[in-house]
Structure 1
């Protein structure tokens, strides 16, 4: 009987060890899972470049999901799995912060940008942006492409600038609102809209448009791209990748694209 008990004890110990091994395996593999980043549409090219560099240096894959900041924030609200969020404005990051969705201490103001007035590349229009400039006259019966002015950051900034300059009421009926800034840019590039308000960084990458002028920085709230690790993230690489985006090498990539690097690496 004693031998049977001892044998049973050894069997139970073996089972416990095996169970421990199989339980530990998924936890270990989680560290190797790809990193998921939700980011504003205007960051597509620069973040893709930096994600490729990160993979070459660390072997860690980064999955990038681009859309309007408003759409991404709402997806996070609804439980979409993401490790890092980079917004094109402060308001949507504030929204997630107030909802308790951000990892404490991880939020940083990463980048700055400018908004510009663009026309199709073949356009011969010339304009200097100033209070009460004749934007309505330039449009005629054509459309002004913008991001959704109630939700998409580029649209919010654009509307604020037009209001500050005293011309919003004269053009608001001519606005073609798009789901994100890249969609607004495409309307101008395809000559489906005569003019558009987009980020300067977007205009620089599309040969189908040309910049007519920058909006004065005093005509709208500062354009700031905040970034933060999400509280729900279990990926230990999330904080490391955010630090990577603040390092000098990444800052040079952002600056080359026309962004202003705001964050200082530690």
Structure 2
């Protein structure tokens, strides 16, 4: 499914146009706009860089649209190659994108809920009157991977009326962690140490490979290429946060 910048999800929780931006960033700080799921790892990586870095997180679709519209940024990291391909087609990035990490998809549940079988009956039984939180497939790669997986498993149609769409995958995780919903489709890296448990691992063959492409934004300032190389070379930090190589 190719990204469509003009469409919006009908059950979107929050505004995809809003990104989590750092407060009081240094004027000379290089600006990195990144997929929300990268936050724990990227925060740590930025702390190992000797110069100021301003980090802004959000859904990949929202980030891509803002970059294409001229948002001031130096480095962009997304959670899907199709949104990066779209940025390339818009002439918004310089050179070729590079993959910096991978991930897996899981169904996260509230603590003590136990495992859930990936069948429509089992998932609906766990949901009860609640909903399954997931990123909006129209703009959030985790949501798109999730829809692909649920369709492959043959349970998308049964669950489609029981979904809570969010504007990024970390928002879906937050709904589960607060106990607002019984289950959520999130990345394996998101489910580590966040007050949720893995109720089911989504088989990798049920969806497209999950990779994180990164690139320099058109007009990036001096030092941005070195910062991107530093991020790509921080594989030990990515691995410590549950990302795959």
TM bracket (short chain): 0.7 to 0.9
1:82 maps to 2:73: yes
Three-state SS of the structure 2 residue aligned to 1:259 is coil
Query: Using the alignment, how far apart are the partners of 1:119 and 1:213 within structure 2?
Result: 9
Of 226, 231, 256, the residue aligned with 2:240 is 256
| Offset from partner CA, 1:147-198 (integer Å, 9 cap, x none) | 1122111111111100000000001000000111111011111111111000
Offset of 1:132 from its aligned partner? 5.9
More contact order relative to length (CA 8 Å, sep ≥ 6): 2
Partner-residue secondary structure (3-state), 1:202:
coil
Matched pairs, number: 219
Secondary structure, counterpart of 1:232 in structure 2: coil
Q: Which residue of 2 aligns with 1:244?
A: 230
**Offset of 1:140 from its aligned partner?**
2.4
For residues 115 and 78 of structure 2, the distance between their equivalents in structure 1, rounded to whole angstroms, comes to 32
C-alpha distance in 2 between matches for 1:70 and 1:159 = 16
- Paired with 1:126 and 1:206, the residues of 2 have a C-alpha distance of 17
Residue 45 of structure 1: aligned partner: 40
Q: Aligned to 1:54, what secondary structure does the other structure show? A: coil
> Which whole-Å CA distance do the structure 1 matches of 2:136 and 2:38 have between them?
18
Contact 2:148/2:207 (<8 A) preserved: yes
TM-score, structure 2 normalization: 0.86
The residue aligned with 1:126 is 115
Unaligned runs of 5+ in 1: 1-31, 262-266
Given the two structures, how large is their TM-score scaled by the length of structure 1? Answer: 0.79
Other-structure match for 1:111: 101
- The alpha-carbon deviation at position 236 of structure 1 amounts to 1.4
Q: Distance in 2 between matches of 1:215 and 1:79?
A: 36
